[in-house]
Amino acid sequence: MSLFSTGETQNPDWIQAHRSISLLLNGLGYNPVGNIFSRCAPYSLEGEFNSILRQSGRKCRFNGRSRRRNVCLIRRDIAGFESWRKVKEHLVQEQEQLRQECVHLQSRLNAVLNECQKEREEKLLLREQLWQTGTELQQQAEFCSGLGSAACSLLWSCSAREDTVSHWLADGKLQAFLAVTAQTLEIFVKSLDEEVKTQVEDHNCQEHQFVLALARTITNIAAVTCGQDFLSNSAYNLLDTLMNLLGRMNPGVFPRLKVLMLMAVYNVSISVKGLKHITENPALLPLIWKMLDEGDWEVCLHSLRLLQSVEEVLLLLGSSLLDPNLQACVSKLTSSMQVSLRLTAQQTLEDLQALQQAADAGRPVLTLSDNFLM
Q: Which pLDDT belongs to residue 130?
A: 92
Q: What's the pLDDT at 355?
A: 74
Question: Is residue 335 pLDDT above 80, yes or no?
Answer: yes
Q: Quick check: 366 pLDDT over 50?
A: no
- pLDDT tens for residues 241-273? 898 998 888 888 888 899 999 999 999 988 888
pLDDT at 14: 53
Q: Average pLDDT, stretch 37-58?
A: 63
Residue closest to 44 by CA, chosen among 21, 10, 13, 11: 21
List own/partner pairs for 355-360 with CB under 8 A and 24 or more apart.
355/311, 355/312, 355/315, 355/321, 355/322, 356/322, 359/315, 359/322
* Alpha-carbon torsion, ordered 111, 117, 121, 122, to 10 deg: 40
Alpha-carbon distance of 174 to 222, in angstroms, equals 12
pLDDT at 127: 92
Q: pLDDT at residue 278 above 90?
A: no
| pLDDT at residue 107 greater than cutoff 70 | yes
Q: 317: pLDDT confidence band, cut at 50, 70 and 90?
A: low
Residue 217 clears pLDDT 70, i.e. is over it = yes
pLDDT of residue 124: 93
The pLDDT of residue 319 is: 57
pLDDT at 20: 63
CA distance 211 to 149: 8
pLDDT tier, 233 (very low <50, low <70, confident <90, very high otherwise): confident
CA distance 271 to 249: 26
Give the pLDDT of residue 44.
56
pLDDT: which is higher, 354 or 175: 175
Residue-wise pLDDT tens digits, 75-103: 777 777 777 778 888 888 888 999 999 99
* Structure confidence by residue, pLDDT tens digits, 125-161: 999 999 999 999 888 888 887 888 888 888 888 888 8
Provide the CB-side half-sphere exposure for 269 (13 A, CA).
30
User: Quick one: pLDDT at residue 26?
Assistant: 59
In the chain, % of residues over pLDDT 70: 77
Q: Mean pLDDT across the stretch 266-290? A: 86
- Average the pLDDT over 328-333 and give the result: 85
How do residues 152-205 score in pLDDT, each as one tens digit?
888 888 888 888 888 888 888 888 888 888 998 988 888 876 655 445 566 667
In 3D space, the residue among 288, 264, 268, 287 whose CA is nearest the CA of residue 277 turns out to be 268
Tell me the pLDDT tens digit for each residue of 55-72: 777 788 788 788 788 778
Query: Binning pLDDT at 50, 70 and 90, where does residue 39 land?
Result: very low
Q: Given this model, what pLDDT does residue 45 score?
A: 62
Q: Does residue 368 carry a pLDDT above 90?
A: no
**Confidence (pLDDT) at 123:** 93
pLDDT at residue 307, rounded to an integer: 87
pLDDT confidence band for 35 (50 / 70 / 90) = very low
* pLDDT at residue number 120: 92
> Model pTM?
0.62
Question: Minimal CA–CA distance to 271: which of 160, 369, 162, 171?
Answer: 369
CA nearest to 279, candidates 310, 240, 308: 310
The chain-wide mean pLDDT, for the chain, equals: 78
Residue 116 confidence (pLDDT) above 90: yes
> Cα–Cα distance between 170 and 183 in angstroms, integer?
23
